[in-house]
Amino acid sequence: MRRLSVLLAELQALSPMPSDEELVALPEEGSRRLDKYVELLEAIRQETTAEFPPEVVSVLLSSFGVGDGYEVYWTTVHLIESFPDEHVLYAFIQQATKSPNPGTRKWCCLLLGRRRSIDDLPFLLDRLKDEVPAVRTTALLYGICSRGHGNVTRMRTALMQRK
């Protein structure tokens, strides 16, 4: 458990990850940060095989940058989705859609969209009013449009109210 605490503290110090554009602008530093991020994810994955405390989910959700982290964030998604208690997990994700970090909001919309639960719809609809275009796009395309649950009227109303 002590090692996991150290790893989580290191990930928190690195978080949130910069946008993809910022990573490109500083190639050496961006590459080092991504390498360190991947290293930490792998170590956290290894440390959570026997026990997966809920605080790990919070730290992982806070780590996302706005872009796709050159596909590295999919590793984070899979690690988050491996949390054993789905009820607790999705409560964390729903609350994190309100995070001050736009990367967290964006990727939480994607995570909720992958679940395809009608219970997540209010959280996704709220993100249609987000100030960050990537968050709005993810909420709409991955969160709402991929659902197929036929709640078109609520979606249309939310979109019409959007300024």
Who contacts 87 (Cβ-Cβ below 8 Å, separation ≥6)?
A: none
Domain count, the chain: 2
Q: What is the pLDDT of residue 88?
A: 96
Q: How sure is the predictor about 159, in pLDDT bands with cuts at 50, 70 and 90? A: low
Q: Cβ distance 127 to 137 under 8 Å?
A: no
Same-domain pairing of 52 and 11: yes
Mean of per-residue pLDDT scores for the chain: 90
Q: Report the predicted TM-score, pTM, of the whole model to 2 decimal places.
A: 0.87
Tell whether the model's pLDDT for residue 118 goes beyond 90: no
Same-domain pairing of 115 and 159: yes
Q: Provide the H-helix boundaries in the chain.
A: 2-14, 20-25, 27-47, 54-63, 73-81, 86-96, 102-115, 121-127, 133-138, 152-161
Same-domain pairing of 6 and 37: yes
What residues make up the domain containing 162?
105-163
User: Radius of gyration over alpha carbons of the chain, in Å?
Assistant: 16
Over residues 92-113, mean pLDDT:
97
Cα-Cα-Cα-Cα torsion 51, 47, 81, 24, nearest 10 degrees, comes to: 160
Over residues 10-30, mean pLDDT:
92
* pLDDT tens sequence across 41-93: 999 999 999 999 999 999 999 999 999 998 999 999 999 999 999 999 999 99
Tell whether the model's pLDDT for residue 140 goes beyond 70: yes
| pLDDT > 90: percent of the chain | 78
Same-domain pairing of 78 and 109: no
Q: What is the pLDDT of residue 145?
A: 80
DSSP 15: P
Structural domain contains residue 99: no
* Residue at token pair 């999705």: 90
